């Protein structure tokens, strides 16, 4: 995704669309971010005006959850993280279970966090 940085407001709009839009009208948050997020192909807009998350949007939200999970573990190894995030990070050798519970970040995970921080993400 060519290092497209999203704002917190844009992530909130993605989350809102993922949860599903209730009613006919979109929220102000989704409304003000639709053009950019559709342009980045994170949203798709059907002919009837219905907005949905694309596979790329789903993947971006999942990767964000993984980064937030790594940062949470870095701050507190006992931090709870979602099972799908833990499974993914474990398969990618970014985290390892600790005997006392929680997770430790592997050297590979630390390198990834440093890389993410250097990109300002």
SS3 for the chain, per residue?
CCCCCCCHHHHHHHHHHHHCCCCCCCCHHHHHHHHHHHHCCCEEECCCCCEEECHHHHHHHHHHHHHHHHHHHHHCCCCCCCHHHHHHHHHCCCEEECCCCCEEECHHHHHHHHHHHHCCC
pLDDT per residue over 28-87, tens digit each? 999 999 999 999 999 998 898 889 999 999 999 999 999 999 999 999 999 999 999 999
* pLDDT at site 86: 95
Domains and CATH numbers, the chain: 8-53 (no CATH), 59-118 (1.10.10)
| Arithmetic mean of pLDDT, 4-23 | 89
Average pLDDT value over all residues in the chain: 91
Percent of the chain clearing pLDDT 90 (strictly above) = 79
């Amino acid at each position: 995704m060519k290092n497209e940085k999203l704002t917190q407001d844009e992530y909130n709009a993605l989350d809102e669309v993922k949860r599903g839009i209730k009613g006919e009208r979109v929220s102000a948050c989704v409304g003000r971010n639709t053009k950019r997020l559709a342009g980045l192909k994170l949203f798709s807009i059907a002919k009837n005006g219905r907005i949905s998350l694309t596979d790329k949007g789903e993947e971006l939200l999942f990767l964000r959850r993984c980064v937030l999970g790594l940062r949470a573990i870095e701050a507190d190894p006992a931090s709870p993280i979602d099972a799908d995030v833990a499974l993914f990070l474990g398969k990618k050798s970014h985290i390892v279970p600790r005997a006392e519970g929680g997770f430790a970040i592997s050297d590979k995970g630390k390198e990834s966090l440093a890389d993410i921080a250097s990109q300002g993400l």
